[in-house]
């Protein structure tokens, strides 16, 4: 048999054939694959079958994803170019080549985004009495109402900043929308000023409400908006009295927001993270967004002030910062949105009043958002008040605001339970929120730790220790997603509640590793990164290869957010060469090329993009007729395998394991409505039902949740 502890060789084939699996042509670039995922998001906005205000939301998600892509990925490539890095990823593209390829692929996407908004979505909105007006096209009466609004609520917030020899060009904060204002003074000299559009005010001003508020004249049932920057531009004379206004142009800046934390040198990680969050505003500019009509002279002026290259500038039709279209998507018109779905409570949880009694008899599988997240909250809250519970331990990565999980932990502390919480302060863009929760928990006496030096804690585990008649018993919740009640309604994730002894002991080992000194912890059932997960996954793939080579067939199904790790991609190529059927459900980034003759022609890669964000990680191994299913927090990426604390757990209940394979994975693999299939060239082809029965997997799961008793 294959040695489970054998070190992972770097591309050494386990099967016959002289194929160089290190050939860069076998790999898709990570950044370009990420852009292709975002294009699939944009496709949802392009799809006329998507409800209209949901199309607006997908436009906002597309723009928001691009903001983060530039803040983290593009900024990282810029830093590599500046540092003279020549090392390449598995696909062989240098950082400079990647930047060129990114811009080339992104420009047509942005044109598609603009056309979608202006030529498709806006006319459709108007057909439903939702209007976004240009200020210049408004009636004098509406302009008058907006004038009142500007004077009372906008003008006091504005701070015009002149630029001249005595006043240098001001700092432009990350993701801020600004006006470049051109003026002429009383001596005839041209002047330049910058005016920031206040982020604290609504970007879309509801004219229908303003008219009612300031003129007492109710508007008809239609909803009418105008962009805040246009109202400000129309009133610039109030900000620059005595000056002649020549023109103004909006612009938006994106900065490097990838914090570098030297943990080994940090005496207090919490304070270090706080300082890093503040420094995000001052990172290097990596993108300047302007409208297409900005004159070259003004563009050159900004280019010089911001110290950027021409390739950092993106021009479009506007509006800039479409991520703020979430405001428009929130308009109260239910008929233009998805039909509301209420997550269901699994019937098995109604067998007893006490969830611990249920878990003593059976494991519970939760498939969010189709199954409600409330049983997870109840698990913690019940433990907080149960007199037999001695301790509660939880890892928190992204918990959101007003978290019912955190509130339950605070209640547990008040009730005398021993509560220990791992709060990961390095969860990108959630650092501030996590700092608030960490301080609140500490203030109430909860044992709070911030993770391990050099590693990000990404695992999702909750452990309850309870004294029962036959001794102490551990109850555990493992999850593929965060303890966040809000995202649990829009992310697809798996949760697993159990009282199995081996898994409970492993959960204790995880927390001992996180809160104390246990670097050599051994685990009975869990696959844990960074110590063991990489080799365990490799072993399971190699085992499947052996089954295929020895005539027992082989089948792998892997569902994840991203497949990047080159070593495991090479192992999957080896599996395909050996005849193993490989089905990959990869939501976003996939660096493996499927369908290559003789290499990956047994590999199929699909991506589902729809109403919910696919977020669960599931790993299925046919194992010669004795299938195994694992779930967890880890994608197959170097960062998850080597630089994070992750847990991947087995589904030990045979009935639940069969449900995972025969229902949850099978339905997703059969999706022919929201699934796209990855092609050899890195593009995706949207599947269509044709003569087959149309299967929208997310809709199927919603319908099943409603009818299952």
Q: Which residue has the tokens 């693999």?
A: 669
Report the 10 Å Cβ neighbour count for 41: 19
- Give 556's contacts (C-beta < 8 A, 6+ positions apart): 541, 544, 572, 575, 580, 581, 582, 583, 620, 621, 622
As a whole number of angstroms, the distance between CA 370 and CA 365 comes to: 12
Proportion of the chain in helix, strand, coil states, percent, rounded to 5 = 40, 20, 35
Q: In whole angstroms, what is the distance from residue 249 CA to residue 257 CA?
A: 25
First to last CA, the chain: 45
Task: Confirm if 499 and 473 have CB atoms less than 8 A apart.
Answer: yes
- Which 3 state secondary structure label does DSSP give 31? helix
Contact (Cβ atoms closer than 8 angstroms) between residue 55 and residue 44: yes
Question: Which element (helix H / strand E) includes 433?
Answer: helix 431-443
3-state secondary structure of 429: coil
Give the count of beta carbons closer than 10 Å to the beta carbon of residue 692. Answer: 10
CA atoms of 593 and 394, how far apart (whole Å): 38
Contact 325, 56 (CB under 8 A): yes
Residue 458 annotated to the active site: yes
Whether 190 contacts 242, CB under 8 Å: no
Please state the φ and ψ torsions of residue 420, each to the nearest 5 degrees.
-125, 130
Burial class of residue 76, CB neighbours in 10 A (0-12, 13-18, 19+): middle
Three-state DSSP class for residue 569: helix
Cβ atoms of residues 405 and 375 within 8 Å: no
Q: Where are the alpha helices (DSSP H) in 135-182?
A: 140-149
C-alpha angle 441-444-449 in degrees, rounded to nearest 5 = 40
Catalytic residue among 458, 477, 547, 555: 458
**532 with 558: CB under 8 angstroms?**
no
**CB-CB contact of 21 with 11 (8 Å):** yes
CB 248 within 8 A of CB 233: yes
Tell me the C-alpha distance between 345 and 373, whole Å.
8
Residue 241: left (phi > 0), alpha (psi -120 to 50), or beta?
beta
Q: Count helices and strands (H / E) in the chain.
A: 22, 27
- Give which of 384, 394, 561, 370 is closest to 483, Cα–Cα: 394
Q: How many CB atoms lie within 10 A of CB 397?
A: 22
Residues acting as catalytic residues: 458
């Amino acid at each position: 048999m294959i040695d489970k502890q054998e070190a992972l060789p770097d591309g050494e084939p386990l099967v016959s054939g002289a194929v160089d699996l290190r050939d860069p042509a076998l790999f898709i670039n990570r950044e370009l694959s990420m852009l292709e995922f975002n294009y699939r998001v944009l496709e949802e906005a392009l799809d006329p079958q998507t409800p209209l205000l949901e199309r607006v939301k997908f436009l906002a998600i597309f723009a928001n994803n691009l903001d983060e892509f530039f803040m983290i990925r593009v900024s990282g490539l810029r830093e590599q170019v500046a540092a003279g890095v020549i090392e390449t990823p598995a696909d062989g593209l240098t950082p400079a080549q990647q930047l060129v390829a990114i811009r080339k692929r992104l420009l047509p996407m942005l044109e598609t985004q603009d056309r979608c908004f202006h030529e498709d979505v806006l006319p459709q909105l108007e057909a439903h009495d939702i209007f976004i007006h240009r200020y210049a096209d408004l009636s004098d009466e509406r302009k008058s109402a907006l004038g009142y609004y500007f004077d009372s609520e906008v003008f006091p917030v504005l701070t015009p900043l002149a630029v001249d020899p005595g006043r240098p060009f001001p700092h432009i904060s990350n993701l801020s929308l600004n006006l470049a204002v051109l003026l002429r003074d009383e001596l005839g000299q041209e002047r330049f000023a910058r005016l920031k559009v206040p982020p604290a005010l609504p970007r879309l001003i509801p004219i229908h409400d303003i008219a009612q508020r300031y003129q007492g004249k109710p508007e008809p049932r239609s909803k009418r908006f105008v962009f805040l920057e246009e109202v400000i531009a129309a009133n610039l004379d109030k900000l620059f009295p005595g000056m002649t206004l020549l023109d103004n142009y909006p612009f938006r800046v994106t900065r490097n927001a990838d914090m570098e934390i030297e943990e080994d040198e940090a005496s207090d990680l919490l304070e270090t993270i706080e300082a890093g969050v503040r420094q995000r505003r001052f990172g290097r500019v990596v993108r300047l967004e302007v409208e297409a009509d900005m004159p070259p002279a003004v563009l050159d002026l900004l280019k010089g002030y911001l110290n950027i290259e021409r390739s950092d500038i993106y021009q479009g039709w506007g509006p800039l910062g479409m991520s703020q279209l979430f405001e428009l998507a929130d308009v109260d018109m239910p008929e233009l949105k998805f039909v509301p779905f209420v997550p269901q409570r699994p019937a098995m949880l109604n067998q007893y009043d006490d969830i611990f009694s249920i878990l003593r008899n059976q494991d519970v599988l939760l498939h969010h958002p189709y199954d409600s997240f409330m049983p997870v909250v109840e698990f913690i809250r019940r433990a907080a008040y149960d007199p037999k519970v001695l301790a509660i331990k939880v890892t928190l990565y992204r918990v959101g605001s007003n978290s019912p999980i955190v509130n339950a932990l605070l209640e547990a502390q008040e009730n005398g339970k021993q509560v220990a919480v791992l709060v990961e302060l390095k969860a990108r863009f959630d650092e501030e929120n996590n700092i608030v929760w960490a301080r609140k928990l500490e203030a109430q006496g909860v044992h709070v730790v911030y993770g391990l030096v050099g590693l990000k804690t990404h695992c999702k585990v909750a452990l309850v220790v309870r004294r029962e008649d036959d001794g102490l018993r551990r109850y555990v919740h493992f999850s593929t997603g965060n303890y966040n009640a809000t995202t649990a309604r829009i992310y697809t994730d798996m949760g697993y509640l159990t009282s199995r002894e081996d898994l409970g002991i492993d959960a204790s080992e995880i927390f001992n590793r996180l809160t104390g000194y246990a670097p050599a912890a051994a685990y009975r059932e869990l696959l844990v990164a960074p110590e063991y997960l990489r080799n365990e996954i490799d072993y399971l793939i190699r085992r499947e290869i052996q089954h295929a080579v020895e005539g027992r067939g082989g089948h792998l199904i892997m569902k994840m957010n991203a497949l990047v790790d080159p070593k495991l991609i090479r192992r999957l190529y080896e599996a395909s060469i050996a005849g193993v059927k490989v089905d990959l459900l990869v939501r976003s980034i996939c660096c493996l090329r499927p369908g290559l003759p003789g290499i990956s022609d047994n590999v199929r890669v699909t991506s589902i993009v729809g109403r919910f964000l696919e977020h669960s990680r599931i790993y299925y191994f046919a194992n010669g007729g004795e299938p195994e299913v694992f779930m967890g927090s880890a994608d197959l990426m170097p960062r998850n395998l080597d630089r994070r604390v992750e847990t991947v757990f087995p589904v030990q209940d045979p009935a639940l394991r069969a449900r995972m394979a025969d229902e949850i994975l099978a339905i997703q693999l059969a999706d022919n409505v929201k699934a796209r299939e990855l092609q050899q060239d890195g593009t995706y082809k949207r599947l269509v039902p044709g003569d087959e029965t149309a299967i929208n997997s997310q809709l199927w799961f919603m319908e099943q949740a409603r009818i299952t008793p």
